[in-house]
Amino acid sequence: MKKIGYIWVLLSMAFLFGGQMKPWTELIEKLSPEEKHVIVDKGTERPFSGEYVNTTQEGVYGCKVCGQPLFVSKDKFNSHCGWPSFDDAIPGAVKEQMDADGKRMEIVCANCGAHLGHVFRGEGFTPKNTRHCVNSISLQFEAKKSNSDAALQKAYFAGGCFWGVEYYLEKLKGVKEVISGFMGGTVKNPTYEQVVSGKTGHFEAVEVTYDPSAISYETLAKTFFEIHDPTQIDGQGPDIGEQYHSAVFVGNQKERDIVENLIGLLEKKGLKVATRILEKDSFYEAEAYHQDYYQRKNKNPYCHRQVKRFD
């Protein structure tokens, strides 16, 4: 059935655009199995599992396949249904068509035909009385950039369970956001279950967005070395496994030099540092329930604590 659904999407796209296969058909072929299940086979992701369910940041939501802008943040609202909800779409960007069973109105990208979700009317959630119920996995979000955002930079660290690393780094002044996710593996868009299986090669990592005019990369790296045990080889605390190894993913030579210098200082103090220095790779955001975990649970980290290691 999946193969039939995939062929149907490609043939539909060819029909819609005069028989000329568009460049984004190649992108469909590169989708992960989870993405194909929703976008091609018209499946549905689990409620409250999508990354955009609770997103409130200002910006534009586009099609995962072709990039066509579909919805704007001002039209997003919390319907408590478990999926991103919008009471309006960008004019002409979304096409409505009846489901095969004739019971629901499907919505697809008007540009490439990718499945988005369904539209419902008459529920009374907003004055527009419309709810576009969309799968997060069908979307890609582009946040609106302010003048100050243009100067923001990103840093990537892995130090055991990402909950604890996120907890401490997001407390630093100058840090704008910390996202838990995965880096360094071979599988595109891995799930948490795939990563903990140890078969994807990913580390549990965090993406730190920071203002370099308020906090330096060196301060971030120093804090990283002080909030976990950089000498533990097989994991971090009670979390044992390849995905919990200590690592810093550097994006340039300056970052590498800073990390190597800090490791040198720790080794002069007698620490046998196991932290790996790796090249920055694709970062994949973890599921929504992993984000701000300790803050939402009102708990403290169980395997991370801050220890002063630098003068």
List active site positions.
133, 161
Q: What angle do CA 111, 112, 118 make, to 5 degrees?
A: 90
User: Hey, what are 260's tokens?
Assistant: 């190597």
198 Rama sector, left if φ>0, alpha if ψ -120 to 50, beta otherwise: left
Interatomic CA distance for residues 9 and 64, integer angstroms: 15
Interatomic CA distance for residues 120 and 87, integer angstroms: 9
Q: How many CA atoms lie within 13 A of 110 on its CB side?
A: 11
User: Among 289, 255, 303, 265, which residue's Cα sits nearest to residue 157?
Assistant: 255
Helix (H, G, I), strand (E, B) or coil at 8: helix
Interatomic CA distance for residues 160 and 145, integer angstroms: 32
User: Among 22, 29, 24, which residue's Cα sits nearest to residue 6?
Assistant: 29
**Which one-letter amino acid corresponds to residue 241?**
G
Q: What is the CA radius of gyration of the chain?
A: 22
Helix (H, G, I), strand (E, B) or coil at 242: helix
Torsions phi, psi for 52 (to 5 deg): -105, 10
User: Hey, what are 216's tokens?
Assistant: 């330096």
CB 111 within 8 A of CB 93: yes
CB 112 within 8 A of CB 66: yes
Interatomic CA distance for residues 68 and 57, integer angstroms: 19
